[in-house]
Amino acid sequence: MPSPWTFLIALHAIAAGYALIFGAVNLLRRNKGTTAHKILGRIWAVSMYIVVFTSFGIRTIDGGFNWLHALSVLTFCTLTLGLWSVRRGNIRAHQRFMTGSYFGLVGAFIGVVAVPARRLPQMAVHDVGGLVLWVAALALTAGLTVAGLAQLRRKAPHSGSHAQSPAPAGNSRRSL
């Protein structure tokens, strides 16, 4: 059985849960470049950086590092390059770096849950209620965040003119 939960491990798990959810939502959204996409992307990026930085405080049983720590270094680089790319206007590179970062996170998650001795599989066996509560809290708060962003979009003031402002770069919406 793994060592007990610590604040660092709990923070890491919570941030990883949010990164999985918000990353999926942003990748599946049709409209990129919108305010909602940017806000969700910022939440996702902060969550990812928390996952990366907290991972270095979580060591193996013998106090060392493993393949997940190497993935954290790679993720730090791809995440940073993805943010740098969008700031430079290179949307294609931004999409590739962010998509790669997200799928690296998914791969790490699969690697974590595939090892029966790790915390999440152990919770599934020994503390199903705690696991369900953790997943429900993540899903509920993430869902409320996404719903809140949808409400902001609906309540955005519309200008009185009928002139269309140009769509942001990378946005595929067309005015009708």
Write out pLDDT tens, residues 105-144: 999 899 888 888 888 888 888 889 988 998 999 999 999 9
pLDDT at 175: 36
Give me the number of domains the chain comprises: 1
Q: Is residue 165 part of a domain?
A: no
Q: Smallest Cα–Cα separation from 76: which of 96, 51, 59? A: 51
Q: Is residue 158 part of a domain?
A: no
Q: Is residue 20 part of a domain?
A: yes
Angle at 156 between CA 150 and CA 159, to 5 degrees: 150
Reply yes or no on whether the pLDDT at 169 is more than 70: no
* Domain ranges, residue 126: 7-147
Q: Is residue 2 part of a domain?
A: no
Euclidean distance between CA atoms 54 and 8, whole angstroms: 6
| Percent of the chain with pLDDT strictly greater than 70 | 83
Euclidean distance between CA atoms 27 and 44, whole angstroms: 11
Q: Is residue 37 part of a domain?
A: yes
What average pLDDT does the chain have? 83
Q: With b meaning 16 or more CB within 10 Å and e meaning fewer, what string describes 102-111? A: bebbeebeee
